[in-house]
Structure 1
Amino acid sequence: MNLSLVSTGPTSPPTDIQLAAVVRAFHTARVLVIGDVILDRYVTGSVHRLSPEAPIPVLRPADNRCTLGGAANVALNIATLGGQAILVGVVGNDAAGDDVERLVRTTPGIASALVRIPNRPTTAKTRFMTGSHQLLRLDEETTAPLDQDGLLAVMEAVEASLGDADVIVLSDYAKGVLCDGVLDAILARTTKAGLLVIADPKRPDFAAYRGAAILTPNEHEVRVATRIEADHDAEADRAGRVALEATGGQAVLVTRSAKGLTLVCRDQDALHLPTRAREVADVSGAGDTLVAALSVALGAGAALLDAAMLANATAGISVGKQGTATVSRQELLDVLHLDDLVTTDRKVASLEDAIERVAEWHRRGLKVGFANGCFDLIHPGHVRLLSEARAACDRLIVALNTDASVKRLKGPSRPLQNEMARATVMASMSPVDLVTLFDEDTPLEMIQALRPDVLVKGSDYTVDQVVGAKDVQAWGGKVVLVTLREGHSTTGTIRRMTAPAEN
C-alpha cells in the first residue's frame, strides 16, 4: 500500500479543523495489533517510615489496580480513540492472564484473539507507588522466543484476523512473541496481501522489520540501531534515513519526547513536528498512544502527514497524565478543535462538558433551552431567534453543525465561515450561554444527551417537524416556535451578494 504524505498539498499543512474531521472518522478504522501483551499493576499507598531491617521505605498499600500494557495498551488506546482493535498476543494460564482476559473482554472496541500458552508466564509489571513517586518495579516475565506450538497458534490467530483489518500494528516489547519465526511469517504474509504495517521496534537491527511500511522508533531505539544521535533535527533526519534503508519501508517516524517527532519519507524533506504537550507529567505509555493514534488515523483514510500530526497531538495529551494513560476521541477533539476557543471564551464546550454544565444548571433549578443551526452568517433574523429563545429559558445552549455537516446539508460551497469562526461569533452573543458542535445531520443525539427543557426553532417549522420535539415533550419540556423576520436568511443574503449587478 502506497502512503500519501499529505492530502492538502506540500505547502499547505492541514489545519486543526481538517484534522478534527479525520478524528470524527476514527470509528471506521479497524486495526489488528500483534505483539507482547503486558499486565500493568499499580500498588499505591503511603510511606511514613523506613524499615528497621534495611534502609528502604515501608509502603502501606491503599489501592491496587491493573491495566492493559504493551500491545494491549496499544489496543486499548485504539478503542478509546474510537477505533476498532483486534488484539493478538500471548498470555499464560495464571492469574495475570485471567486479569488480561477480563480487561480485554470488558473493554468495548477490542476484539480478543489472545492465545493461552501453558507454562509460559503472562508478562506483568507491578509498580509500587507513593503519590507520583515509584518506589520499586517488579517484573514477572520471560523473553524466550515462542516454541513451535506457540508460533503456530499465534499465526493461526493472525490469519483468522487479517481479513478484518485495515492496518496492522506490530508492537514489539522484546518479550518473545514477535520472535524471528512469527515476525518473518507476518511480514511475508502482509507484504503478499499488500497490507499496511506499522512496526514499533525494540530490536537493535531494524532490518528485522523489513516489509513494514512505517517504523516508529523513539530517540533511544533509533540511536542504538543506527548509532546516530537524534538529539537535533539534522541528526534525527539522518538517523531516520538510515533506518528507512534498513527496513525498505516508506516512512520512519522518530519520536523525540519533549522535542516532538521527525517524519522521514522517501524522496521527501524531513518534517519536524514540535510537541503539543502543555506539560509533561509522565511519558509512560506515550509511545503506545502515538502508535495507536497513527494507526487509527491511517485506518480512517488520513494522509501520513495528517496522521502524524494527530499522533503527535495525542501523545502530547498522554504525557500530561500520570501513569500509563489513554486519550479519548473527545479529548483529542478538544485540543484540536476547541483549545483556542475555550481560551478565548469559556462558553464553547465539548458535549461531555455541556452535559456536566446542564446537569449543574438543572440541580440549581434552572430552565435550559436548546437551539441549533448552521449560523453561517449572523443576521437580524438570528438575533431575534436567539433573543426570544433566551427569554423562554434561564440558560440557552446553541448547537452548531460542524463544517462536514453543513456541507452535507447545504452543498460543497458552504459553510462560508468554518466552525471555529462560527462558534466564536456565536459565543460572543449575549443571549447565548453555551456553544457546542455536532457532526450528525440532525441534533437528535445531542438533544437526547442534554435533555433541555425548552426546544427553540423558527416558525417556518411546525412542532411535528422539529427534530427532538417528541423527546423534549416526553420528559415534560416544551417546543417554542419563534416568529422570524421576513427577508432575512443566510441563503438569501448569499444570493444577493452573488447576483450580477444591474446596469
Structure 2
Amino acid sequence: MPILFEEADILVVGDVMLDRYVWGQVKRISPEAPVPVVQAQRTTETLGGAGNVAYNLAALNCRVSLIGVCGADPTARSLRDLLTAKKIDDLLLADPARPTTTKTRIMAHKQQILRLDDEQVRPMDAEIIAGIRNAFSTGLERCKAVVLSDYGKGVLAETSFVQEMIQACRSRSIPVLVDPKGMDWQRYRGASGVTPNTAELEMVAGSALETDEAGLIAAAEQTRERYGLEWLLVTRGAKGMCLVRSDTTPLLIPAQAREVFDVSGAGDTVIATLAAALSVGTPLADAARIANQAAGIVVGKLGTQPILASELATALHFNDQRRFFPYSAAKLSDVPAATEKIGQWRAAGERVVFTNGCFDLLHPGHISLLYKARSLGDRLVVGLNTDASIKRLKGSGRPILSEHDRAAMLGALACVDLVVAFDEDTPIELIKALQPDILVKGSDYKPDQVVGKEVVESYGGSVQLVDLVEGYSTTRLTEKVILEYQRRSTRIDAK
C-alpha cells in the first residue's frame, strides 16, 4: 500500500489546545498530604486537540491549515510558535475574553501523576464565529479534505454553523470528516464520515453496545443512517476498528498494536491519517487500514506524539510484504524523524546512546552488545548499514538479509529505541546529525579507531567500549552454514 501525502492539502477546524508536560522525579511523599512530591526538572510543550490533528498531518508531509480559537495570552504565543515550527498555516482567531486552552500534565518516571486544565468552555461569540467563517471560506478554496475536530470547548458548538461548513464542503465534493464529542450529532448531519470510539458510539446510540460484533455493527449502521453519513469508522482500542458504509458490507479491521504506552492522541492520528489518505484518492477501506496501522504505532509512544511519515511508510512496506513487525514499526526512522525524536528525548532529560553496524544474521554477540550499550543511557539508537553499503564493504555475497529485515529484527529488541539506516561506508555523517551523548563500540576496537570519536567528544559526549561475547561472528556463522551444506550435499551425492 505505498502512498505519498505530499499532494494532500487538509483544512482542520476545531478546538485547539496546548499540551504542556512538566517532567520530574518523585523521591518522597508530602508531609502535608498523602501525595507524591514531584521535583520538576523541565517543561515541554506540544500541540493538542485539533492542533494535534494538524500536527499529525504535517508530520505526514501534508499541507495543512488550522482554524480555531486561542486567547490573547503568553500561552497563545507558545501555541503559534509551535504552528510555525511545524509548518502549519496559522488561521487561529484570538479571543481576549478566554484563556488559551491548556492541559498541563505532571510526569514522573514516565507516568502521569496529575493533569491541570486551564480552559473556558462556552460557545463562541458572534464576532469570533464570523472570523472563523471567513477563514474557512478562504481555506476551502484550495483544500482537498476538511477535518472537524470537536473537543467540546465551543468552536463546533453551534449546529447551524457546523451545518453551514458541512454543506459548503458537500457543494464542492470535498470530503468532511468529524471527530465527534457528546450526544448531539445533529450538527454533524450530512458529513462524509465520523470517527467515534466505542464509548462515543454508545453515548449517541443511547445504550451500552452488545459485546458481540453484530450488536456493534447494528448500532453503527443505525447511527450512520440516522445522521445521513456516508460511513462510520468506530475505533475499538485493542479490538481494532469497524467500518460501516452505505454501499457494502461492514469491515472489521484487527488492531496492529502489541505494546501500548499511551493512548493519548490516538484518535487524532486516526482521523488525520484517514483524511490524508482520502484526499489523495485512496479507497476508503484502504484508508481505514492505513489509519489503523498509524494508530498502532502512536499508542507505543509516551505522551501526545504524531505519526511520522517514515514510521508509516515502514509499517506499510512490511505489511505489503506480509511481514509486518508490530514491535518494530515505530522504531524504524529516517534521519529527519530521528533528529526530531532525539530532540524530544533530550527535552525529557534522557541520555542518548548510539552504536552502529551491519547486524547481518543477528546473533547473541550482537544482542549482548546492544543491551550493554542501552544500559549506559536512557535511549539506544542503532545506525544500520544499508544493503548497498554492506556490498561495498563485504562483497557481492552480502548482506544475507535485506536492510528492511535487519532493521525489523533490531527494532523488535526491547533494548533498541530507534533504528536509522545510513548509506555511507561509515556512520560519521549520521553521528554528526544525531549528536548522541554516548558512542558505543565493542572492545575489539581501540578508542582511537572508533569512527565519530572526535565528533562526539567535540560537544562533550563520550566514547565507551563494551566487552563482547566470545565465539560469535556473522562471517564464522556463514562459513559454518556453508560447510554444513557442502557436507550434506556430498553425503547425498555419495548415496
Task: Tell me whether the two structures share a fold, i.e. TM-score over 0.5.
Answer: yes
User: Could you tell me which residue of structure 2 aligns to residue 394 of structure 1?
Assistant: 393
User: Could you tell me which residue of structure 2 aligns to residue 239 of structure 1?
Assistant: 219
Conserved 8 A contact 1:369-1:395:
no
Helix, strand or coil at the partner of 2:10: strand
Q: Is residue 144 of structure 2 the alignment partner of residue 145 of structure 1?
A: no
- The 1:342–1:272 alpha-carbon spacing in structure 2 relative to 1, beyond 3 Å, is closer
Aligned partners of 1:101 and 1:241: how far apart in 2? Answer: 40
- Which one of 248, 257, 282 corresponds to residue 302 of structure 1? 282
- The 1:431–1:308 alpha-carbon spacing in structure 2 relative to 1, beyond 3 Å, is closer
User: Could you tell me which residue of structure 2 aligns to residue 472 of structure 1?
Assistant: none
- Which one of 212, 215, 219 corresponds to residue 198 of structure 2? 219
Unaligned ranges ≥5, structure 1:
1-18, 363-367, 373-385, 399-428, 438-448, 454-503
Q: Is residue 248 of structure 2 the alignment partner of residue 268 of structure 1?
A: yes
User: 1:186: Cα distance to partner?
Assistant: 1.1
User: Could you tell me which residue of structure 2 aligns to residue 113 of structure 1?
Assistant: 91
Q: Is residue 91 of structure 2 the alignment partner of residue 123 of structure 1?
A: no
Conserved 8 A contact 1:86-1:161:
yes
Aligned partners of 2:140 and 2:76: how far apart in 1? Answer: 24
User: 1:261: Cα distance to partner?
Assistant: 0.6
Aligned partners of 1:360 and 1:45: how far apart in 2? Answer: 31
The within-5 A match list for 1:170-181 is: 170-180=148-158, 181=160
- The 1:241–1:228 alpha-carbon spacing in structure 2 relative to 1, beyond 3 Å, is farther
- The 1:87–1:431 alpha-carbon spacing in structure 2 relative to 1, beyond 3 Å, is closer
User: 1:369: Cα distance to partner?
Assistant: 10
User: 1:337: Cα distance to partner?
Assistant: 1.3
- The 1:44–1:167 alpha-carbon spacing in structure 2 relative to 1, beyond 3 Å, is same
The within-5 A match list for 1:98-497 is: 98-108=77-87, 110-180=88-158, 181-230=160-209, 231-338=211-318, 352=335, 360=356, 390=391, 393-395=392-394, 429-430=397-398, 435=403, 450-451=423-424
- The 1:45–1:359 alpha-carbon spacing in structure 2 relative to 1, beyond 3 Å, is closer
User: 1:292: Cα distance to partner?
Assistant: 0.6
Aligned partners of 2:387 and 2:111: how far apart in 1? Answer: 48
Aligned partners of 1:242 and 1:369: how far apart in 2? Answer: 53
Helix, strand or coil at the partner of 2:6: helix
Aligned partners of 2:323 and 2:166: how far apart in 1? Answer: 45
Conserved 8 A contact 1:251-1:263:
yes
User: Could you tell me which residue of structure 1 aligns to residue 51 of structure 2?
Assistant: 72
Amino acid at match of 1:198: L
User: 1:188: Cα distance to partner?
Assistant: 2.7
Aligned partners of 1:199 and 1:124: how far apart in 2? Answer: 22
Aligned partners of 1:298 and 1:214: how far apart in 2? Answer: 11
Q: How many residues align?
A: 366
Helix, strand or coil at the partner of 1:159: helix
Aligned partners of 2:231 and 2:404: how far apart in 1? Answer: 37
Aligned partners of 2:168 and 2:252: how far apart in 1? Answer: 33
Aligned partners of 2:85 and 2:333: how far apart in 1? Answer: 26
Amino acid at match of 1:450: D
Conserved 8 A contact 2:387-2:402:
no
Unaligned ranges ≥5, structure 2:
340-353, 359-383, 406-421, 427-495
User: Could you tell me which residue of structure 1 aligns to residue 445 of structure 2?
Assistant: none
- The 1:30–1:232 alpha-carbon spacing in structure 2 relative to 1, beyond 3 Å, is farther
Helix, strand or coil at the partner of 1:317: helix
Amino acid at match of 1:72: G
Q: Is residue 59 of structure 2 the alignment partner of residue 86 of structure 1?
A: no
- The 1:316–1:193 alpha-carbon spacing in structure 2 relative to 1, beyond 3 Å, is same
User: Could you tell me which residue of structure 1 aligns to residue 342 of structure 2?
Assistant: none
Helix, strand or coil at the partner of 2:292: helix
Amino acid at match of 2:96: P
Conserved 8 A contact 1:277-1:317:
yes
Aligned partners of 2:324 and 2:335: how far apart in 1? Answer: 14
When structure 1 is superposed on structure 2, of 255-264 and 43-52 the one drifting more is 43-52
Conserved 8 A contact 1:207-1:246:
no
Aligned partners of 1:148 and 1:157: how far apart in 2? Answer: 14
Aligned partners of 1:163 and 1:140: how far apart in 2? Answer: 34
Conserved 8 A contact 1:260-1:273:
yes
User: Could you tell me which residue of structure 2 aligns to residue 28 of structure 1?
Assistant: 7
User: Could you tell me which residue of structure 1 aligns to residue 27 of structure 2?
Assistant: 48
When structure 1 is superposed on structure 2, of 140-149 and 220-229 the one drifting more is 220-229
Aligned partners of 2:174 and 2:385: how far apart in 1? Answer: 49
When structure 1 is superposed on structure 2, of 329-338 and 289-298 the one drifting more is 329-338
User: 1:185: Cα distance to partner?
Assistant: 2.3
Conserved 8 A contact 1:88-1:157:
yes
Conserved 8 A contact 1:395-1:432:
no
Aligned partners of 2:403 and 2:305: how far apart in 1? Answer: 29
- The 1:47–1:227 alpha-carbon spacing in structure 2 relative to 1, beyond 3 Å, is same
Aligned partners of 2:301 and 2:315: how far apart in 1? Answer: 15
- The 1:370–1:135 alpha-carbon spacing in structure 2 relative to 1, beyond 3 Å, is closer
- The 1:153–1:50 alpha-carbon spacing in structure 2 relative to 1, beyond 3 Å, is same
Aligned partners of 1:451 and 1:198: how far apart in 2? Answer: 43
Aligned partners of 1:432 and 1:351: how far apart in 2? Answer: 22
Conserved 8 A contact 1:369-1:394:
no
User: Could you tell me which residue of structure 2 aligns to residue 492 of structure 1?
Assistant: none
Per-residue CA deviation, residues 70-104 of structure 1 (Å, 9 max, x unaligned), is 00000000111121211111111012111110000
Q: Cα RMSD (Å) of the superposition?
A: 3.2
Helix, strand or coil at the partner of 1:99: helix
